[in-house]
Homo-oligomer: A and B are copies of this chain.
Amino acid sequence: MTRTHPYEFGLDKNEANFVALSPLSFIERSASVYAGHIALIYGSRRQTWRDTYARCRRLASALVQRGVGVGDTVAVMLPNVPAMFEVHFGVPMTGAVLNTLNTRLDAETIAFMLQHGQAKVLLTDREFAGVIEKALVMVGDRRPFVIEVEDEDAPAGNSLGDVSYESFLSHGDPGFRWKLPSDEWDAIALNYTSGTTGNPKGVVTHHRGAYLNAVSNVVTWEMPRHPVYLWTLPMFHCNGWCFPWTLALQSGASVCLRKFEPGVVFDLIREHKVTHLCGAPIVYGMLINAPAEQRAGIGHAIKGLIAGSAPPAAIIEGCEQMGIAITHVYGLTEVYGPAAVCAQQVEWAALPVGERARLNARQGVAYPMQEAIAVLSPDTMEPVPADGETVGEIFFRGNLVMKGYLKNAQATQEAFAGGWFHTGDLAVTQSDGYVKIKDRSKDVIISGGENISSVEVEEVLYRHSAVLAAAVVAKPDEKWGEVAAAFVELREGATVTEAEIIAHCRAEMARFKVPKQVIFGVLPKTSTGKIQKFVLREQLHSAAAIV
């Protein structure tokens, strides 16, 4: 029986009391309240929020003139230049969906994405002309309209746009009256995840989630107004974890850069007094290991978000010494980038750095605007005990979870089975309720019936003074099924033998976990600094085949 009550009547939504949540509202406000503040810095270019908003409206207007509208896809293949920032507003203003492409991908994969996402327009940069030209040939008849973003700092290359970005903007109206989406559940972005098998999956996110994650970034990071944010994180990666929208909310300045180089990064930090940056552990590792003279002369406080993989203790310690206060966040493309944070407890500040690093290396707790993160048994969907021992899978639930995978009902259904989003990452819950990854599911090594956490072995390897980066993968073994194999990249000038590394590991872990082989060399990494374990595995397998 349902009762009626007085709050049911005459209290409906109307134009005065309800609007769709969208991060587009943030840029309108910054352009109005902080119009003269700098939004974008690139080389000698300085662009205010007033001008940035006008340019985004031009872009939207010009796209609409080309027939772009609700439900269309606009793809971009761009480095972290101002145009890459502008598309995060100009494209959704039309009702279209922004598809940022990973600039390190090959032509075949790009062609797949352009076709699968049905991109109507593509913005690109001369640097990627080779890949894009090939991809466009593969796309054939369904070739999108191509806009080339000109940049005098781009490496030499063919020009292949139907029009230049600036010329395209010049046809747009700076006073264009864009509209908020009619429904905040409407798609705002399409991001392909590079799975290890099969075709990439197209993660579709919505305006409501982009709005809430932008706010979550501010709350989590206690980010004040007018931050100076350095773009060490590619904007093609989960829309720069929603930071274009976060910066619009806080009227911050974006310091753009085409390419991550420690010397350049330190110059920009000094020149613009950068206050915030994001990146994978490798990004911070490169800063820590830069020559002392590059690092000199930075006197102000900097805050860094670290994600992509758990930060080794040495990274956290090194950042502290450099004056970068690190916060560790965790997520995936499917949850708008970070949707969990290793929330720092006040009392940790008094602990020795090693202990603090151990605590901060955990994946932690849900973001303020994510409803829940939980380690569940995938069979029963019941939480594992908070004993730090029982391994389960990490699940997310809440408003920071994607709409689903584009044109892939089966994968969507599997991802949401049981009313939670399945991350595929294996973890434990510790006694304080914090989640700690034991292994990405694919990386677990099963040796003689015992599970080996590759993360655990890697953490030990990182503690060796000669090791710059390390990755542990499963190597097929007749006797044990699998054994651990370690790939190690050494610090400049350091020398160490395989036997010494193995001895170091033996002193620190159970015998069965110790790598049976150590391979030295530069580790293959993604553009965001994640070590590509699948490449290492292939390397091992082909070596085994040759033997």
On A, residues with C-beta under 8 Å from B are: 3-19, 21, 25-26, 29, 32-34, 69-72, 97, 118, 185-187, 204, 215, 218-219, 222, 224-226, 249-250, 343, 345-346, 365-366, 368, 371, 396-399, 401-404, 406-409, 412, 415-416, 419-421, 433
| Minimal beta-carbon separation of A39 from chain B (angstroms) | 15
CA distance A29 to B415 in the complex (A): 25
Residues in chain B near residue A404, CB distance under 8 A: 10-12, 17
Given known A10-B412, A25-B371, contact A403–B33 (CB-CB < 8 A) = no
Interface CB pairs A-B, < 8 A, 25:
A3-B71, A6-B118, A6-B407, A7-B187, A7-B403, A10-B407, A12-B403, A13-B185, A15-B420, A16-B397, A16-B415, A16-B420, A16-B421, A17-B399, A19-B371, A19-B399, A21-B399, A29-B368, A33-B365, A33-B433, A34-B343, A215-B219, A219-B219, A222-B225, A249-B368
Asked whether, in the complex, the Cβ of A32 is within 8 Å of the Cβ of B365, the reply is: yes
Residues in chain B near residue A346, CB distance under 8 A: 226
Q: Which of B215, B250, B398 is within 8 Å of A215, CB to CB?
A: B215
Given known A33-B433, A421-B16, contact A11–B399 (CB-CB < 8 A) = no
CA distance A343 to B69 in the complex (A): 35
CA distance A19 to B397 in the complex (A): 8
Residues in chain B near residue A371, CB distance under 8 A: 19, 25
CA distance A402 to B18 in the complex (A): 9
CA distance A105 to B108 in the complex (A): 73
| Minimal beta-carbon separation of A136 from chain B (angstroms) | 21
A37 and chain B: residue at smallest CB distance: B346
CA distance A375 to B8 in the complex (A): 32
Asked whether, in the complex, the Cβ of A412 is within 8 Å of the Cβ of B11, the reply is: yes
Q: How many copies does the complex hold?
A: 2
Which of A219, A345, A346, A416 is most buried by chain B, counting CB atoms within 10 A of its CB?
A219
Given known A5-B70, A6-B71, A10-B409, contact A32–B399 (CB-CB < 8 A) = no
Given known A19-B398, A398-B19, A416-B17, contact A433–B7 (CB-CB < 8 A) = no
CA distance A301 to B530 in the complex (A): 42
Given known A219-B249, A222-B224, contact A7–B401 (CB-CB < 8 A) = no
A367 and chain B: residue at smallest CB distance: B29
CA distance A69 to B3 in the complex (A): 10
Residues in chain B near residue A8, CB distance under 8 A: 71
Residues in chain B near residue A186, CB distance under 8 A: 7
Chain A residues touching B, majority SS: loop
| Minimal beta-carbon separation of A227 from chain B (angstroms) | 11
| Minimal beta-carbon separation of A175 from chain B (angstroms) | 15
CA distance A412 to B11 in the complex (A): 8
CA distance A186 to B12 in the complex (A): 10
CA distance A419 to B433 in the complex (A): 46
Residues in chain B near residue A399, CB distance under 8 A: 17-19, 21
Known: A7-B406, A16-B416, A19-B398. 4 other contacts (CB 8 A): A3-B71, A10-B409, A11-B412, A16-B421
Residues in chain B near residue A397, CB distance under 8 A: 15-17, 19
Residues in chain B near residue A222, CB distance under 8 A: 222, 224-225
| Minimal beta-carbon separation of A471 from chain B (angstroms) | 31
Given known A29-B368, A368-B29, contact A419–B7 (CB-CB < 8 A) = no
Asked whether, in the complex, the Cβ of A5 is within 8 Å of the Cβ of B71, the reply is: yes
A396 and chain B: residue at smallest CB distance: B16
9 closest Cβ pairs, A-B complex: A5-B71, A15-B419, A17-B401, A11-B403, A7-B187, A11-B404, A16-B416, A10-B409, A222-B224
Which of A11, A25, A407 is most buried by chain B, counting CB atoms within 10 A of its CB?
A11
Given known A399-B21, A416-B16, A416-B17, contact A204–B7 (CB-CB < 8 A) = yes
Residues in chain B near residue A250, CB distance under 8 A: 219
CA distance A409 to B406 in the complex (A): 44
| Minimal beta-carbon separation of A340 from chain B (angstroms) | 11
Asked whether, in the complex, the Cβ of A6 is within 8 Å of the Cβ of B215, the reply is: no
Asked whether, in the complex, the Cβ of A401 is within 8 Å of the Cβ of B219, the reply is: no
Residues in chain B near residue A18, CB distance under 8 A: 399
A249 and chain B: residue at smallest CB distance: B368
A13 and chain B: residue at smallest CB distance: B185
A186 and chain B: residue at smallest CB distance: B7
Q: Which of B7, B218, B343 is within 8 Å of A219, CB to CB?
A: B218
Residues in chain B near residue A25, CB distance under 8 A: 371
CA distance A72 to B29 in the complex (A): 38
Residues in chain B near residue A19, CB distance under 8 A: 371, 397-399
Residues in chain B near residue A71, CB distance under 8 A: 3-8
A185 and chain B: residue at smallest CB distance: B13
CA distance A9 to B406 in the complex (A): 8
Residues in chain B near residue A345, CB distance under 8 A: 34
A97 and chain B: residue at smallest CB distance: B7
